[in-house]
Amino acid sequence: MTQKAVRAGYENGTGYLFILPWIIGFTAFTLIPFVALFYFAFTDYDLLSSPGWVGLDNFIRMFTVDEKFLTSLKVTFFYVLTAIPLRLIFALFIAMLLNMKIRFVGLYRTAFYIPSIIGGSVAVAVMWGQLFGLNGAVNGIIGLFTGTSPNTSWIANPDTALWTLILMAVWQFGSPMIIFLAGLKNIPDSYYEAAVVDGANGFHRFVKITLPLLTPVILFNLVMQIIGGFMTFTQGLIITSGGPLDRTLFYQLYVYRQGFEFLDMGYAAALSCFLLLIVAVLTALVFKSSSAWVHYESKG
Amino acid sequence: MKRRFSSMMIAAAAGILALTGCSGGNSNTAEPDGTAQPAGQTASSSTPDAGGGNLRIIWWGNQERHDLTSKVLDLYSKTNPGTTFTPEYQGFDGYFQKLTLLAASNNMPDVVNFYVGSSDSNQFLDKGLLEPMDQYVENGTINVADIGENTLSGGRAADGKLYGIPLGVNARVMIVDPAVYDKAGLTIPEKGYADWEALHEDLGKLKEVTGAYGADDLFNINFTLAYYARQFGQTIAAEETGIGFDEKLYTDFFTYRQGWSKEGLIPKMDASLSVKNPEESFLVKGQSAVMVAYTNQYPGIVKAAGRPLQMILMPGPDSDKAMDVRPGMHFSISVNSTQKEAAAKFISYFVNDVEANKILNANRGMPVSSAVRAALMEQFEPEMKAVADYMEVVAEHSGPLDPPAPAGATEIDKLMVDLEQQIMYEQTSIKDAYAKLTQEAAAIVARNKQ
Amino acid sequence: MMPNTQKNASRLTVHLVCLLIGIVSLYPLVWMVASSLKESSQVFVSAHSLIPTSWDFGSYISGWRGFAGITFGTFFKNTVIIVCSVVAGTLVSCSLIAYGFARIPFRLKGFWFATVMLTLLLPGQIVQIPQYIIFYKIGWVNTFLPLIVPAFFGSAFFIFLLLQFIRTIPYELDEAAKIDGCSRFGIFYRVILPLIKPALVTAAIFEFYWAWDNFFGALIYLGRPQLYTLSVALRLFADPSSGTDWSAMFAMATLSLIPPILVFFIFQRYIVEGISTTGLKG
């Protein structure tokens, strides 16, 4: 701690001391499971008896005979490409709204965060059915405006099922909203004061000050939402069971099904490894690109 | 923090050992105990003492079941000093996933709630994780004198051995709304409809009264296709080919379903798919007058509907051949249990003891023991009484259970549901679906035989 | 951001927009509360009425009774113990680790940061199997330890979150503190921590709710009903094959939502107040 290091030089002792908890935790809780995952991917493992080495069989099956592998990959990409941008834009918009000094803002913030809390609730599957089912509130409201309520159940109609889940993802914009809000609050008022003196208008200030200073937080939300999007699973399991016609068969749901319903854990591990690779590459690309658009105050 | 660090390192070391030695459940069947005992405080299998000790028991269920079953455990501990229980009850969500992890870590409870015959349970059976119980029946530890052989046979696997003692029996039932029949000027066929066509005729008039549907979706593939196959002397599953019914049967079944759904007599696929619990059915909401269910769901449906309903037999022809009295759940013994004798003794008590069953009040279906059933009749509430009466009728009008499903049945089930959706959403023809079904089912069976 | 001369009309628009989103956000909660007050026979029969015909608190009493003599009091207590430990552990460990990554140059930093990001990519469903076996072998199954202890060793999401916030703080502040004679820890404790208060509060709120809601971990690691948490206990009402007491389940689900909502409502203003009160002048 008392090292007198210059800024450019390494401070190995201090640095490792600070991240020591991570190194211990990673080694103890994550490293072994991580290695196991890769090992399982090359085995036939039903969980109930020992894994047997099968070489590349799982991967060959994935790319040659398994149609559902492709289906689930498409569903997941579609979901990530639609739900994530919508959710982020919405979250940022609301965060800016709530950053204003208006009355009841605390109540609004809490109300907007509630979908994120209730989303994990045990009741959510039943609730979503009550909203988007045949006799649900959505059809009721449409009926109120148009005179006839649609004779369809949105969550079980092959053309709309995935969209209801996308809508749900956007509706649960609470977490990225809060992070944006915290990011906005981190921007010192003095920057804006200076801009006002310079005569910048609202839009100018947003583009010149807010956005650049928010980029580290945008990067965080982007990376996390991409990863989270690919990991999406619960909604598909409890609300739509992957159906109808596999239109909501998320990749992770398919992995789960192979692993825990068909007890084909080796294949599930192989599927996971492939997704891990995809997401790792995407994440790395985002990080690489970030040097061009993310503005840091420090060089750490 | 320091102490935690060292235990963390032990954790890491132990984990590596676990993985290299591999976690498998029955990799050490030759030496079922002793090899992988937990270092810590898991309550299980402390003393391999036949006289009792602590029995771990796991089941799924709802509030009532947890309360009642726990009371019976207390009662048993009182009358059998020395035997205590560590119950691990839970909801149905995640039950089998947790059981899989318990099995993977060699940590299965002594007594396990299963449904032998369901694909979830069959996996455990196929891997040899359950103890065959025939010897305990032979030596009298488990008393099956009052249980019919047909009921007991539901606990047998493809190898003919007994892997579970049934805890209650259920049957398929058609539930109708008498008030709607009244208004439509129809009489309820007390013994069930003569055939599906007869039902079809009534549905139109019932639909006019409800203003929505005549019936809920009656053709759920898991529920009705097995019944429909039995009506024509066929079965849903088969040992060699995976499926045991022919193309005509499959075609007829889906032709009914498509036709009725187009006529608006039953909900379209998307509407019926969004009904996930019997309490959410259209019948409960007053939008249909007929639905099908299992008898154990009847009290709950009446409660949710809040009005009188009535049970009739499933439609004919040959319903007395197609109906069956099916065990709802089983208690099985884990192969790694160190107290199998004590577990068997408890299971026998659980199904045969009148006092215990007075507490349980047919919570897991109609009791399997005839003596227990007779003793319980007077304490049943009206709905349970109706179920008991109905079960008496079914007992006289039913055939033997289907043979156990082959290995790989889980995947075949999933495949059938996939094709069901493709047909009903008009993505494929019935003919093509059947061709695909036979082809892939055979492949799945072949793969699982290896 | 709005000019000070903003007219009342646009404020009204903002309020209208907020109200509209608020209604959409609150609908399911209102539906659930209404359902919990209905009799079981009315939950689905009159599913879309948001106002119960009779106010029946019976389901709160029958639900609270719990299972086999273990009331929801026990489940609340267990959950609070776990959640508070997890939140404390996460805040302490993640802020230290994030500071290390953000400000201190050291060898192999890129590698260790990659392990953080990698952890986020691991498929939880599969990784849990070896993890479960590890915890089983060291005898932690049927204790709270597998749910609590890992939090004290950092969680990737929060490390990354705090890291991004520390990076928005001007480096000159560190420099100034160093010149004043602060050690690394001193800088972390006196300069950085106060400045990332909004992020810390955010992390606390998130982790509170996630730990509160953690079903699967609690399900597999807690074998005895006396140890169950709320998320596990709530599912003990549901059995699709025989019957579910929906109103009791909704009643307890409603109660279980109160603490996360309260925590959010109380702490959200610190996200807002955080910076301005510490007097950062950039």
Find the closest chain C residue to B15 by CA distance: C134
Which residue type, as a one-letter code, is found at position A35?
A: V
Q: Give me the mean pLDDT over the C178-195 stretch.
A: 89
Of the partner residues B98, B105, B297, the one whose CB lies closest to the CB of residue C136: B105
If phi > 0 it is left, if psi is from -120 to 50 it is alpha, else beta; for residue B242 that is: left
Nearest to B417 by CA among B213, B262, B223, B255: B223
Q: State pTM to two decimals.
A: 0.86
Residue of B90, B280, B309 for testing the chain C interface, max C β-carbons within 10 Å: B90
Of the partner residues A27, A51, A157, the one whose CB lies closest to the CB of residue B270: A157
Indicate whether A169 pLDDT > 60.
Answer: yes
Of the partner residues C133, C143, C232, the one whose CB lies closest to the CB of residue B104: C133
pLDDT at B406: 79
Decide if B104 and A48 are in contact by the 8 Å CB cutoff. Answer: yes
Is B124 in CB contact (< 8 Å) with chain A? yes
Lowest mean pLDDT among A13-22, A72-81, B277-286, C42-51: C42-51
Q: How far is C33 from chain A (nearest CA, A)?
A: 11
Find the closest chain B residue to C89 by CA distance: B1
Residue A57 in domain: no
The two most distant CA atoms of chain A are separated, in Å, by 77
Decide if C32 and A28 are in contact by the 8 Å CB cutoff. Answer: no
Decide if B8 and A51 are in contact by the 8 Å CB cutoff. Answer: no
Going by pLDDT thresholds of 50, 70 and 90, the confidence category of residue A298 is low
List the structure tokens of A199: 């005569």
Using a CB-CB cut-off of 8 Å, the residues of chain C touching B286 are: 45
Q: How far is C227 from chain A (nearest CA, A)?
A: 19
CB C9 within 8 A of CB A95: no
Q: What is the CATH number of the domain that holds A78?
A: 1.10.3720.10
**Percent of chain C's residues with pLDDT above 90:** 48
Per residue in C7-49, pLDDT (tens digit) is 677 888 889 999 999 998 888 888 888 888 887 777 777 776 7
Q: Are residues B147 and B188 in the same domain?
A: no
List the structure tokens of B231: 């009506």
Decide if A297 and C130 are in contact by the 8 Å CB cutoff. Answer: no
Of the partner residues C68, C129, C137, the one whose CB lies closest to the CB of residue B39: C137
Instruction: State the total domains in chain A.
Output: 1
Is A156 in CB contact (< 8 Å) with chain B? yes
C-alpha A55/C-alpha A42 separation (Å) is 5
Rounded to the nearest 10 degrees, how much is the dihedral formed by the CA atoms of B402, B408, B411, B416? -30
Chains touching chain C through at least 3 C-beta pairs below 8 angstroms are A, B
Using a CB-CB cut-off of 8 Å, the residues of chain A touching C275 are: 185-186, 188
Residue A20 in domain: no
DSSP letter assigned to residue B118: B
Decide if C141 and B107 are in contact by the 8 Å CB cutoff. Answer: yes
Decide if B63 and C248 are in contact by the 8 Å CB cutoff. Answer: yes
Using a CB-CB cut-off of 8 Å, the residues of chain B touching C247 are: none
Using a CB-CB cut-off of 8 Å, the residues of chain A touching B422 are: 245
CB A230 within 8 A of CB A278: yes
Per residue in C234-273, pLDDT (tens digit) is 999 888 777 788 889 999 999 999 999 999 999 888 876 6
- Neighbouring CB atoms inside 10 A of B216's CB total 25
Residue A12 in domain: no
Using a CB-CB cut-off of 8 Å, the residues of chain B touching C149 are: 4
Q: Are residues B200 and B281 in the same domain?
A: yes
pLDDT at C271: 77
C-alpha A167/C-alpha A83 separation (Å) is 7
Decide if C133 and B86 are in contact by the 8 Å CB cutoff. Answer: no
Is A49 in CB contact (< 8 Å) with chain B? yes
Of the partner residues B7, B42, B66, the one whose CB lies closest to the CB of residue C141: B42
Q: Are residues B213 and B184 in the same domain?
A: yes
CB A250 within 8 A of CB A69: no
| Domain encompassing residue A106 | 66-293
Is A157 in CB contact (< 8 Å) with chain B? yes
Residue B342 in domain: yes
Decide if C209 and A117 are in contact by the 8 Å CB cutoff. Answer: yes
pLDDT at B10: 43
- Neighbouring CB atoms inside 10 A of A241's CB total 17
CB A10 within 8 A of CB C106: yes
Q: Are residues B52 and B119 in the same domain?
A: yes
Strands B111-114 vs B53-58: parallel, antiparallel or unpaired = parallel
pLDDT at C85: 97
Decide if C241 and B92 are in contact by the 8 Å CB cutoff. Answer: yes
Residue B2 in domain: no
Q: Are residues B312 and B431 in the same domain?
A: yes
List the structure tokens of B276: 């996930």
> How far is the first Cα of chain C from the last one, in angstroms, to the nearest whole number?
18
Domain end point (choices B361, B388, B415): B388
Using a CB-CB cut-off of 8 Å, the residues of chain C touching B328 are: 241
Q: Are residues B299 and B194 in the same domain?
A: yes
Q: Are residues B67 and B165 in the same domain?
A: yes
Decide if B296 and C241 are in contact by the 8 Å CB cutoff. Answer: yes
Using a CB-CB cut-off of 8 Å, the residues of chain B touching A47 are: 25, 100, 103-104
CB A106 within 8 A of CB C264: no
List the structure tokens of B16: 């590596």
Residue B176 in domain: yes
Chains touching chain A through at least 3 C-beta pairs below 8 angstroms are B, C
Residue A175 in domain: yes
Q: Are residues B243 and B334 in the same domain?
A: no
Residue scoring higher pLDDT (C78 or A186)? C78
pLDDT at A163: 93
Q: What is the CATH number of the domain that holds B281?
A: 3.40.190.10
Residue B41 in domain: no
Domain end point (choices B339, B364, B388): B388
Query: Number of CB pairs < 8 Å for B and C?
Result: 180
Q: What is the DSSP string of C29-51?
A: HHHHHHHHHS-HHHHTTTTT-SS
Residue A4 in domain: no
Decide if C235 and B93 are in contact by the 8 Å CB cutoff. Answer: yes
Residue of B129, B269, B274, B336 for testing the chain A interface, max A β-carbons within 10 Å: B274
Q: Are residues B372 and B435 in the same domain?
A: no
Decide if B123 and A48 are in contact by the 8 Å CB cutoff. Answer: yes
Q: Are residues B283 and B306 in the same domain?
A: yes
> Cis peptide before C3, with omega less than 30 degrees from 0?
no
The domains of chain C, with CATH numbers, are: 1-56 (no CATH), 58-278 (1.10.3720.10)
Strand spans (E) along B184-240: 237-238
With a cut of 70, list the residues of chain B below it in pLDDT.
1-52, 450
Nearest to B406 by CA among B101, B37, B68, B157: B157
Using a CB-CB cut-off of 8 Å, the residues of chain C touching B300 are: 242-244
Using a CB-CB cut-off of 8 Å, the residues of chain C touching A8 are: 105
Q: Are residues B424 and B279 in the same domain?
A: yes
C-alpha B189/C-alpha B177 separation (Å) is 12
List the structure tokens of C92: 């302490």
Q: What is the DSSP string of B258-299?
A: HHHHHTTSS--HHHHHT--SGGGSTTTTTS-SEEEEEGGGHH
Residue A244 in domain: yes
Q: How far is A108 from chain C (nearest CA, A)?
A: 7
For residue C209, the surrounding DSSP H or E stretch is helix C197-213
Residue C219 contacts by C-beta under 8 Å, 6 or more apart in sequence?
A: B90, B94, B97, B98, C232
Of the partner residues B89, B297, B306, the one whose CB lies closest to the CB of residue C243: B297
Instruction: State the total domains in chain B.
Output: 2
pLDDT at A43: 93
Q: What is the DSSP string of B40-96?
A: S---S-S---TT-EEEEEE-B--HHHHHHHHHHHHHHHHHSTTEEEEE--B-STTHH
Q: Are residues B111 and B180 in the same domain?
A: no
Decide if B61 and C216 are in contact by the 8 Å CB cutoff. Answer: no
Residue of A263, A264, A265, A267 for testing the chain B interface, max B β-carbons within 10 Å: A263
Is B13 in CB contact (< 8 Å) with chain A? no
Using a CB-CB cut-off of 8 Å, the residues of chain B touching A35 are: 19
C-alpha B162/C-alpha B159 separation (Å) is 9
Q: Give me the mean pLDDT over the C80-89 stretch.
A: 97
C-alpha B364/C-alpha B330 separation (Å) is 9
Residue B190 in domain: yes
Indicate whether C125 pLDDT > 90.
Answer: no
Per residue in A204-241, pLDDT (tens digit) is 888 888 888 899 999 999 999 999 999 988 888 888 88
Residue B20 in domain: no
Decide if B286 and C245 are in contact by the 8 Å CB cutoff. Answer: no
Using a CB-CB cut-off of 8 Å, the residues of chain B touching A155 are: 273-274
Of the partner residues B96, B127, B425, the one whose CB lies closest to the CB of residue A158: B425
| Domain encompassing residue B412 | 172-324+402-449
Residue A25 in domain: no
Task: Please state the ipTM of this predicted complex.
Answer: 0.86
CA dihedral for B112, B115, B116, B120, sign (positive or negative): negative
Decide if C224 and B70 are in contact by the 8 Å CB cutoff. Answer: no
